[in-house]
Amino acid sequence: MLRRIRFILIVILLLAGTARAQELLDLTILHYNDFHAQNTPTTLTVNGENDERMRVPAGGAAVLKAMIDRERAAARHALLLHAGDDFQGTPISSITKGRSQFELLELIQPDAFTLGNHEFDYGADNLRALLPTVSFPVISANLWDKSIGAPFVPRYRLLRRGDLRIGIIGLAPPDLETLTLRENVRDLDVLDPAMTVRQTMGELQRNFGTRFFILLSHMGFEQDSLLAEAVDGIDVIIGGHSHSALFVPRLINGALIAQAGSKGRWLGRLALQIDTETGTVVRSHGELLPARVDAVTPDPVVAAKVAELEAIVDSGFGEVIGTLATAWERSHTGESNVGNWMTDVMRDFAQADIAFQNSGGIRKDLPAGPITLRDIWEIAPFGNEFVTFEISGEQLRGMLRHQAEVTGEFCQVSGLRYSWDYSAPEGERLEATVGGTAIDPEKTYTVVTNNYVAGHLHDVFGLPEAGVDVRSVYPAHVDRDVFIDYVRRQQRIDSRVEGRITLIGERP
């Protein structure tokens, strides 16, 4: 009898030990990224009745806050993470140099926010001045401030949910210097992400016993995937920068990668069941929740703050300055009608032979109808200025070769037509004219572009930057002011795709 009791006690103890070792914690990670100051609702395309596609109002800071509160209340353990680029995209961000966005984030209170490239669009000094005004954690492990010999912001956030120690590590894009004006980040170095993550994870494990690691990354889905392959032990990557709407998270080398599109049209929800002893994810389910305006009651406090900020904009930015006959539609891989109009304006304003406008600097499509001041601010929000430089015809051909075969920053053009045939023999792929005449290798041509492109001539065109004399266009104007003036003058705009750029075959 005594042996039987001992046996039962041993079994009970073994079962109890096993239960402790397998103690599970339910954790819900709410996330969004690349909000781009879309404080008021935008639109989202959804399936309606009979599966027809329809656009519905979605997003906005007040709607997003209401959804976050609802999901936080429904979860036993929750985190809210923001993967960067809340600045830049609407007039209020430019007017306040990002202060508007930090004021709204202070009401939303993410558990961690990592810095994207657009947080630096008004300069690192501007960001330094804003950081003390907020209480939510702003993190980035790979941003080194050379001016003080220390990290620009805290590298990580360490927190606890139940018995689980969680380390959240922030990451800025490695090519930050090419994504904003160089002078904006002149005092910053961006450290190698893989090296930074390995070192930081090791530190958190040794010093705090951290077993669960989340990377809060503004590097884009492709870079996040490569990092997951390169570094073992990452549990979750909450990403941004590439505006990827990952309706189902991707699993790469044990890391779940999630990203929620852009402009607050979705709220990401990643539901995890985690073994607290090992930090292992036992079950997971990820989805993007559409932030439909008709699905929640907007948060009244955030709505009031948005209205206060929008009043600053509406006091003058609602003015109709012209009419658009054909909808403006952007393209990052080919010619666009809005790009044609903008470059035509630039070339006329600077009296140049050729104009180049980076497609990534055109931030909004616009339907046919009235054009307001606000529309132009949102299409060209960066406040760039025009510059010119001179090149030979031979250099121009090299620039077009770089555009077709190398660059990731595709440019719209004016004064120039070119075609590139990827299937043609080397040396026979390019056909190009300037002003209707074949490019003369010996002739000098004047080019107008914006100061962002001029600051990255090697990346965009393959030009040796030290050998190009870049001059400001005088009188100096912010680019959007020039565009506004031309809309007022032209009144009715009907720009079209004209065959200025023809790409034949598959780009390698």
pLDDT in tens, 59-88: 999 999 999 999 999 999 999 999 999 999
Extract the runs of DSSP E, i.e. beta strands, from 218-360: 236-239, 250-252, 255-258, 266-275, 280-290, 320-324, 354-358
In CATH terms, is domain 316-504 a member of 2.70.70.10?
A: no
Q: What is the pLDDT of residue 22?
A: 67
Cα–Cα distance, 430 to 424 (Å, whole number): 9
Cα–Cα distance, 438 to 107 (Å, whole number): 58
**Percent of the chain having pLDDT more than 90?**
86
Contact of 177 with 455, CB cutoff 8 Å: no
Q: What is the pLDDT of residue 45?
A: 87
Q: What is the CATH topology of the domain spanning 23-310?
A: Purple Acid Phosphatase; chain A, domain 2 (3.60.21)
DSSP per-residue codes, 439-463:
--TT-EEEEEEEHHHHTTHHHHH--
Sign, Cα dihedral of 123, 137, 211, 67 = negative
Q: Is the pLDDT of residue 8 over 60?
A: no
pLDDT band at 505 (very low <50, low <70, confident <90, very high): confident
pLDDT band at 5 (very low <50, low <70, confident <90, very high): very low
Q: Is the pLDDT of residue 508 over 80?
A: no
Collapsed DSSP state (helix, strand, coil) of residue 82: strand
Cα–Cα distance, 116 to 98 (Å, whole number): 12
Q: Is the pLDDT of residue 507 over 80?
A: no
Q: What is the pLDDT of residue 115?
A: 98
Tokens representing residue 210 in the block:
């951290």
Answer with the residue of higher pLDDT: 442 or 316: 442
Q: Average of pLDDT values for 196-203?
A: 98
Residues 6+ apart with CB under 8 A from 85: 33, 34, 35, 36, 116, 117, 118, 119, 218, 240, 241
Answer with the residue of higher pLDDT: 35 or 506: 35
Domain boundaries, the chain: 23-310, 316-504
Q: What is the pLDDT of residue 54?
A: 87
Q: Is the pLDDT of residue 337 over 50?
A: yes
Q: Average of pLDDT values for 235-258?
A: 97
C-alpha distances out from residue 160 to 27, 209, 425, Å: 11, 11, 61
Q: What is the pLDDT of residue 361?
A: 95
Q: Average of pLDDT values for 280-300?
A: 97
Name the least confident of 19-23, 123-127, 351-355, 370-374.
Answer: 19-23
pLDDT band at 407 (very low <50, low <70, confident <90, very high): low
In DSSP terms, which residues pair with 478 in a beta bridge? 385
Q: Is the pLDDT of residue 182 over 50?
A: yes
Q: Is the pLDDT of residue 461 over 60?
A: yes
Q: What is the pLDDT of residue 474?
A: 86
Residues 6+ apart with CB under 8 A from 244: 220, 221, 259, 261
Q: Which helix (H) or strand (E) holds 259?
A: none
Q: Where are the alpha helices (DSSP H) in 54-123?
A: 61-74, 91-96, 99-108
Q: Is the pLDDT of residue 6 over 80?
A: no
Tokens representing residue 467 in the block:
């050998």
Ranked by mean pLDDT, which of 41-45, 366-370, 454-458 comes out on top? 366-370
Contact of 137 with 157, CB cutoff 8 Å: yes
**Percent of the chain having pLDDT more than 70?**
95
- Residues recorded for the chain: 508
Name the least confident of 15-24, 97-106, 477-486.
Answer: 15-24
Q: Average of pLDDT values for 101-115?
A: 98
Q: Is the pLDDT of residue 128 over 90?
A: yes
Alpha carbon of residue 354 to chain centroid: 29
Q: Is the pLDDT of residue 4 over 80?
A: no
Q: Average of pLDDT values for 179-193?
A: 94
Tokens representing residue 15 in the block:
């079962």
Q: Is the pLDDT of residue 131 over 50?
A: yes
Q: What is the pLDDT of residue 51?
A: 76
Give this prediction's pTM. Answer: 0.82
Q: Is the pLDDT of residue 12 over 90?
A: no
Tokens representing residue 175 in the block:
């090519």
